[in-house]
Structure 1
Amino acid sequence: MSLLHDAVRAESLAVLSRFRTDFYDCLTARADALFELADAVLCTDGPVRSLVELALAREHRRGHGTLYAGLNRGQVDVARLRRVLAGVPLPRAADGRLVLAVDVSPWLRPDAGTVPDRSFCPTYGRGGAKHQMMPGWPYSVVVALESGRTSCSALLDAVRLTPGADLAAVTASQVREVVERLVTAGQWTEGDLDILVVLDAGYDAPRIAYLLSGLSVEVLGRTRSDRVMGLPAPPREEFFQAHPKSGRMPRHGGEFVFGDPATWGVEQAVTVSGTRLYGKATAQAWDRLDPRLTQRAAWLDHDGPLPVIEGTVIRLAVEHLPSGGVNKPVWLWWSRTGATEADVDRCWQAFLRRFDIEHTFRMLKQTLGWTRPRLRDSADRWTWLILAAHTQLRLPRPLATDLRRPWERLAPPHKLTPARVRRGFRNLRTTTGSPAGAPKPTTPGPGRPPGSKNRRPATRHDVGRVLAGSEPYQRPAHHKVGTKPRRTG
């Protein structure tokens, strides 16, 4: 056991050292300043509250002027860093497949009128727990999820959504590029289980599955509870016997109304499981259901007849919620048909694991200080430094010493949270070394003369929107006061 433990620690140390070297090679300008800035993020005691405080960390051997100059004039080879992130060891599900989660997290900048490319971002829990739209930068982030109860995920990619961007098209393109990099890095080979992509509500899962056709991926997305989908069309002979005078074969059968159990029919599969947090969980699945597409919005410019995108609809109902909130069933759409009971259990459990990405966002913002700086043109550069820093907290978990607080529970080394690994990263850093060179003595510049005015004011920019479906934003009817959801029983 001791030899095995030593081998695991040696392998983890080699992986971390190799990643730090590769990350340094991705910094093509002001590399030393940017690399030590990332180390300062990892070694600072407590949460990161401002950029200038990072210059006080002993791992940052340069002055605060160099810190800002590195962010403003440094360069990161993003394409190379993406390949490096795809090549490090990644977590996998219990059956060995890769499970990717995609979500959008905003970097709110409501008071920054001179910042370009801001969009209205939906926020919750601000101003009396109200739903608000606030200006900011929405980032679409892709992570690889672990199995079991954990708050750690592997960051793979981040893309800033520009105003007017089609969310489904951008997400499909981002996932396709991530999967291609994983294949190139050897994370997926021919014969492996398909990669599962998990989406939350707000994504058009059927359209994303259609855009990802040709890849070995499965798409699982949450859908609204007021949807109406089409049942599979009846066999040709059976239909024309019942309707001999019909002119053509229909594209769909009857309607499957989520809010009307009378339209559901017989399930494809039913599973009942006992969970620690939710009590009894009942999952029902119906096969070969598809959204009834129309020639509008995202499909307005589609050439030829609209596709029939069949999938499996899963209804998950749990006994109770841990928070004591309103217990409503969750509806999921899976891009495969012919689901077995094992597939149904795997899908809804993978969807619950999707919420690990929320813990990752909280770690990036509240501890690593992702959205703390008030940057204008170097936000993407800072974002990639934070992604690289988070990866350095995930890789050395077998090496970290659990410096837990008295009120925290014991955790095995391979299940330490990134925040607990960060407490001892300063000691790990000494074992891996730093490729950054020593700072050179310089004389600070004179700066702006006292009392002089800024003769080059920054340009002010308007705020746009990210489009959820290639059409202008409209408040959904079931969100308006005094209205009821469509077709609910």
Structure 2
Amino acid sequence: MFPRSYNSIYKAIKESFNTNSQEMNKKEEEEKEKEEPNNLIRVVSELIDQPQQRPFYLFAIDTTPHPRPYARTLAKRGYIYQPNTIIGNKPINIGHFYSVLSILPEKETDRNATWAIPLSGERVSLDKSGVEVGSEQISSVMCDSSLPWHEKLCVLVADSAYSQRSFLFDQSKHKNLVVIARVRSNRIFYQSPPVYESNKKRGCPPKYGERFNLVDVETWHEPDETTLIQQTTHKGRLLNITILAWHQMLMRGTKDQKMYRHPFTLLRIHVTDDSGNSVWKPMWLIVMGNQREQISPTVAYQSFRQRFDIEHMFRFSKQRLLMTEFQTPDVEHEENWIRLVMLSYIQLWAAKELASHLPRPWERPKEQSNDKIVTPSVVQRDFQRIISLIGTPTRSPKTRGNSIGRVQGQVQT
């Protein structure tokens, strides 16, 4: 459908991503970024409907490894984390890390297809961490006034790596953002100090109250809120979920990062079966933000459960969209390939309403109106027909003809 040479295709790719930054001065780049926000994120935001069931936009952020152990000439490689199935081996590899910020669309039921629409994908350099790059991505998205979620309630869900003090302090600057992050079960937090109206003593008032150790049950005080809900799995198993909430909790800060000014809500989620046995290890979550009171414990738990959709997006991108299969010795080409994979996933999301269910010979046919079948793999299966109907806006290439070659007897100097 696109009979072009490799050079012309990649020239178009470089122009679309504005990767010719070496020719421009840094001042011109900064002025251009201030005048023109990220057009790619703005186009993607037009594909996201405004949430109706929940009063906020839901975002998720995580890092994914790009192993390149045999690319000896590839610059800026480093040690990255990669799970290993062999017992005793260290879960490390050599390559690059990429931080991806995604928006999680609203679901009608828990059994809908899992989608995580990527908004930004940046490589994590050796002098930075994935948390620092993720903080910059969130700031660029939240500060863009042209996006539909500007100054509206937004919720960010993240794993335990993003529950550190530096990340939470940076995100507390956004007044419309609430962060729901998982914390390790060995963390130590503090209660808010009691307020004494009479018999004031000299000196600075206490900033932290009594110690709250997640491991030691004796240090826990009575929860401010207790929620009991039930959930049925896909196989019909009934689960009982107990959510304990402690409000106005604090974590230790530093001289520059005064965390006592940013209290949060601490949640403990315990899932049991009908017999009362624990199904999983109890999970701890923190809910931090100026508008955290608008997020109930049940909504916070359900929002964090949807965070795992970004893991499905990573797996689909690597298995079906060849995210980590592009071999190149140029870092710039690798970054562009990651962006191309993100765009291809976004195209599948945009075409999900046009896709038809094409079951394999061994699959059971389903109705066309079933939302569960509109998965990324189903849309990709029918994408050849969709893109054939759309066509291409470019003209057909003209043949140059065959060269006459050298004249007989011609000698090259």
Q: Same fold, TM exceeding 0.5?
A: yes
Backbone CA RMSD of aligned residues: 3.0
Report the Cα distance in structure 2 between the residues aligned to 1:444 and 1:417, rounded to whole angstroms. Answer: 47
**Cα deviation, residue 129, structure 1:** 8.3
| Aligned residues with identical type, % of pairs | 24
Equivalent position amino acid for 2:116 in 1: S
The count of residues paired between Structure 1 and Structure 2 equals: 366
Could you say which residue in structure 2 is the equivalent of 1:299? Answer: none
Could you say which residue in structure 1 is the equivalent of 2:349? Answer: 394
SS in 1 for 2:155: strand
Does residue 188 (structure 1) correspond to residue 173 (structure 2)? The answer is no
Query: Structure 1's 442 and 196: CA in aligned 2 closer, same or farther, altered over 3 A?
Result: farther
Equivalent position amino acid for 1:270 in 2: T
Query: Structure 1's 306 and 102: CA in aligned 2 closer, same or farther, altered over 3 A?
Result: closer
**Cα deviation, residue 414, structure 1:** 4.5
Report the Cα distance in structure 1 between the residues aligned to 2:65 and 2:291, rounded to whole angstroms. Answer: 37
Contact map agreement 2:266 2:285 (CA 8 A) in 1: yes
SS in 2 for 1:202: helix
Could you say which residue in structure 2 is the equivalent of 1:249? Answer: 205
Could you say which residue in structure 2 is the equivalent of 1:439? Answer: 397
Report the Cα distance in structure 1 between the residues aligned to 2:68 and 2:176, rounded to whole angstroms. Answer: 38
Runs of 4 or more consecutive aligned structure 1 residues displaced over 6 Å after TM superposition: 337-342
Q: Encode CA deviations 1:217-273: one digit per residue, 9 max, x unaligned.
A: 1111011100001110110336x57xx5x7432110011100112212111211111
State which of 320, 330, 343 in structure 1 corresponds to 2:296: 343
Could you say which residue in structure 1 is the equivalent of 2:104? Answer: 145
Contact map agreement 2:63 2:130 (CA 8 A) in 1: no
Match runs of 1:2-401 below 5 Å: 59-62=1-4, 66-67=5-6, 70-71=9-10, 74-78=13-17, 79-90=38-49, 92=51, 94-128=53-87, 131-146=90-105, 147=107, 148-149=110-111, 150-181=113-144, 183-185=145-147, 187-188=148-149, 192=152, 194-204=153-163, 206-212=165-171, 213-237=173-197, 247-277=203-233, 279-294=239-254, 302=256, 308-319=261-272, 327-336=280-289, 343-377=296-330, 378-401=333-356
Q: Encode CA deviations 1:308-332: one digit per residue, 9 max, x unaligned.
A: 3210111111126xxx997211111
Could you say which residue in structure 2 is the equivalent of 1:450? Answer: none
**Structure with larger RCO (C-alpha < 8 A, sep 6+):** 1
Equivalent position amino acid for 1:434 in 2: T
Query: Structure 1's 214 and 444: CA in aligned 2 closer, same or farther, altered over 3 A?
Result: farther
Q: Which runs of 5+ in 2 are unaligned?
A: 18-37, 404-413
Could you say which residue in structure 2 is the equivalent of 1:56? Answer: none
SS in 2 for 1:430: helix
Q: Which runs of 5+ in 1 are unaligned?
A: 1-58, 296-301, 446-489
Contact map agreement 2:131 2:161 (CA 8 A) in 1: no
SS in 1 for 2:40: helix
Contact map agreement 1:285 1:314 (CA 8 A) in 2: yes
Equivalent position amino acid for 1:188 in 2: W
SS in 1 for 2:92: strand
Contact map agreement 1:403 1:424 (CA 8 A) in 2: yes
Query: Structure 1's 358 and 334: CA in aligned 2 closer, same or farther, altered over 3 A?
Result: same
**Cα deviation, residue 410, structure 1:** 3.3
Query: Structure 1's 97 and 71: CA in aligned 2 closer, same or farther, altered over 3 A?
Result: same
Equivalent position amino acid for 2:132 in 1: A
Report the Cα distance in structure 2 between the residues aligned to 1:288 and 1:251, rounded to whole angstroms. Answer: 12
Contact map agreement 1:315 1:329 (CA 8 A) in 2: yes
Superposition TM-score, scaled by structure 1 size: 0.68
SS in 2 for 1:140: strand
Contact map agreement 1:313 1:334 (CA 8 A) in 2: yes
Contact map agreement 2:241 2:272 (CA 8 A) in 1: yes
Equivalent position amino acid for 1:217 in 2: L
Q: Encode CA deviations 1:447-487: one digit per residue, 9 max, x unaligned.
A: xxxxxxxxxxxxxxxxxxxxxxxxxxxxxxxxxxxxxxxxx
Contact map agreement 2:270 2:278 (CA 8 A) in 1: no
Equivalent position amino acid for 1:327 in 2: W
SS in 1 for 2:82: strand
Query: Structure 1's 328 and 67: CA in aligned 2 closer, same or farther, altered over 3 A?
Result: same
Query: Structure 1's 247 and 120: CA in aligned 2 closer, same or farther, altered over 3 A?
Result: same
SS in 2 for 1:230: strand
Report the Cα distance in structure 1 between the residues aligned to 2:44 and 2:132, rounded to whole angstroms. Answer: 23
Contact map agreement 1:206 1:335 (CA 8 A) in 2: no
